[in-house]
Chain A
C-alpha cells in the first residue's frame, strides 16, 4: 500500500471536517476523492500532504458509525492504536514535514510562482535541494526540457505564467510537481477552474500521464464525470465521512446509499406510496415501507405505448430534448411525479413520441435503500 489513512478525524473549532475516515491506496493506483464542497475531501488530501494535522487520537474508539454503505470504510482491520495515523509505504509519516513527505501537490488555482518563468517554475524543486543532493545545472536543464516536452509546452519555457492559458498553467503546475519525481501525486481539484472542453482533454492526458509516470495518484474532485472517467477507484465522500469506495462501475451501478446514487448523475425518485399503489409486485416484497424510496436512473426506464408488465406506469410526456445521442424525455405520472427517461435517439424517433402523449414507463432496474435509521 502506498498511502494508508487510519481513522483520521479533523475538526476546525466546532466544525467537523473529517470524521473517522480510513482509506488505503495501492501503489500505482489512481484514486478520486469525490464529493460536494464541504464533504472533507480537500481536508483529507491536505492531511495526507502534511498541510493539515489530523486531530490527536481521542482515546475512545468511536463505534464505527454504520451509515448505509460504510462497510467499505471499516474494511481495514487496523487496531485502535492506529487511530489518526497516516502511512506512506508502511511508514508512519506523522512527524514528517510537508517537504519531507516529498509528495507532488497540484493546487486548484495552480499556485505558480508568477515572478518566475515556466522553466524556473519547473526547476524550482530541484534548485532548492541542498547542495549535495542538487543535480548539476545540465541535469536540471535536461529534466526541465523533458518535462516541457511531456506537457507539450516546448518552446514556452521562458514565458511567464501570466502569458499562459488556464490549461497551460495547470500543465506547468503538474510538471513542477513531477520534477521532484514524487512517488505520490496529490491533485486538489486540478481542473476545477478550467472550461469543459479543456477539462475533458486534460483528463485524458492526466490518465496517460499517470500510467507513464508510475505514480500513486489521489485526485480531489466534485465532478462525478471526471471521477468516474479517470480513476481506478472512486471514494465518495459526504459530510466528513466516506459513503462508498469502489471502482467507477461499482459506485455507479451498485451505489451503496441514497447519497451516492443521487450524487453520481441524475436519478428519478419514487416514494414508497407510489411503489405500493402504482407499481405493484416489483421486487420490494416486505421492504416496501411508507418511507422507503425507489431510485431509478433515467436510462434504466423504458418507454412504450402499452403497459409492458405489471410494473409499468402510465405517464404523460411533457417535453423531449433531442439534442444528443440520447433523447431526454420528461414525463409526469398520474401522481404528478416528474420523471426523466433517457432513450437512444433512434428509439425515440422510431416510437415517434410527441409532447402531451400518454405512454407507459417501465423500470428495467431499481435501487432501494432503507431509510437511515439514525434520522
Chain B
C-alpha cells in the first residue's frame, strides 16, 4: 500500500528535475504557449462578451428574452434534460455490465462505445435520417402512427443523445474496472441485497466520476451543433436549439443578438470548466484512494 504511493512521488520529482533546458528555451516555449492560447482561445472568448454587450445591456437583455431565443434555450434544455439522464442510466448499466460480468464481445462493445467521438456529427445526423427519415427503415411505420422524428423535436433529442452517449460510460468503465467487485462481494456476504449494495457501496464509490461524466455530457448536449443541424428543420421558435438559433441570427447579420446567445453558451462552458477541474480533483482522489487501498 505504502509502496504504491512512493514511486508516483519520485516520478514527479524526476519530472521537475529533468527541466534543465537553457533559460531561452524555457522562455520561448512559454511565450509560444501563451501567444497561441491568447490568439486561439482567450481573445475569441473575450470577443463574444464584447460583441454581446457592445450595444448596451438593453439590447443584450432584449436579445435573450425574445420569443425565439427563449424557445431555443428551452429546446436545448429539453434535449439535454432527456439525453443526460438517459445516457447516465445507460452509462451506469454499461459500466456495471462490462466491469462486473464476463461475456463474449465485451471488448468490442467497449470500443464501439467511442463511435460518436470518432465520427463527424454530420454523419451521425445523416445516419439518423437514414433510419428514422421518411425514406428510412422506420420512416413508414413512424408516419402511419403520426410520430414525426426527423425535422422535429424528437429528432433533435435523438441526435443529442447519439453524440453524448459515451460520456458517462467512458468515465465509469475504467474506474469500476479498477475498483473490481470485492466491495460488492463483501456487501453481499454481509447480507445486503442488490439494491442496498448499489446504493450503499457501489454508488458512493463512483459518485464523483458519475458527476464528472454528467457534467461533460450536459455541456456537450447543450452545445451540439452538427448532428442536430442535420435532423432539425431549423424552424425558429420550433426546432431550433441554442447553437442553431445563434447560427441563424448570425446569418441574418444580427450580430448583437447572435453574440448575446453565444455568450450564454460561452458562460456555460466556463462554468463547466470550473466545475470540471474541481470534480477532477475529487475523482482523482478516489482513484488514488482505491489504488492505495488494494
List A residues at the B interface (Cβ < 8 Å).
49, 51, 97-99, 102-105, 107, 109-115, 124-125, 128-129, 161-162, 166, 173, 176-177, 179-180, 193
Contacts and interface: CB of A to CB of B under 8 A. Distances in A.
B205 A98 contact: no
A124 B289 CA distance: 21
Contact of B191 (A99, A107, A161, A166): A99
A99 B191 CA distance: 4
Given A99-B191, A124-B192, A129-B191, A114 B185 contact: no
Contacts of B205: 114-115
Interface stretch (B117-125, B136-144, B193-201): B193-201
B21 interface: no
B193 A128 contact: yes
27 contacts: A49-B189, A51-B185, A51-B189, A97-B188, A99-B188, A105-B186, A107-B186, A111-B185, A111-B186, A112-B186, A113-B200, A114-B205, A114-B293, A115-B204, A115-B205, A124-B192, A125-B191, A128-B187, A128-B190, A128-B192, A128-B193, A129-B191, A162-B289, A173-B186, A176-B190, A179-B190, A180-B191
B293 A99 contact: no
Contacts of A111: 182-183, 185-186
A179 B183 CA distance: 16
Contact of A114 (B189, B190, B191, B290): B290
A197 B201 CA distance: 32
Given A99-B193, A105-B189, 15 more contacts: A49-B189, A51-B189, A99-B190, A111-B183, A111-B185, A112-B183, A113-B183, A113-B187, A113-B200, A114-B205, A114-B293, A125-B191, A125-B192, A162-B289, A177-B189
A302 B289 CA distance: 53
B135 to A, nearest CB: 46
B185 A98 contact: yes
B189 A98 contact: yes
Interface residues of B, number: 22
A114 B289 contact: yes
Interface in B204-262: 204-205
The residue among A114, A161, A177 with the most chain B CB atoms within 10 A of its own CB is A114
A125 B190 contact: yes
B294 interface: yes
Given A114-B289, A166-B1, A109 B182 contact: yes
A8 to B, nearest CB: 19
Contacts, number: 74
A99 B192 contact: yes
Given A111-B183, A115-B205, A180 B190 contact: yes
Contact of B294 (A49, A109, A124, A125): A109
B100 interface: no
B185 A105 contact: yes
A190 to B, nearest CB: 13
B55 interface: no
Contact of B188 (A98, A113, A115, A193): A98
A112 B196 CA distance: 16
B292 interface: yes
A129 B200 CA distance: 13
A177 B185 contact: no
Nearest to B197: A128
B28 to A, nearest CB: 43
A107 B192 contact: no
Nearest to A124: B190
Given A128-B196, A193-B1, A109 B189 contact: no
Contacts of B188: 97-99
B198 to A, nearest CB: 12
Given A109-B293, A110-B293, A115-B204, A124 B1 contact: no
Contacts of B190: 99, 124-125, 128, 176-177, 179-180
A238 B164 CA distance: 50
Given A99-B191, A124-B190, A125-B191, A162 B292 contact: yes
B104 to A, nearest CB: 11
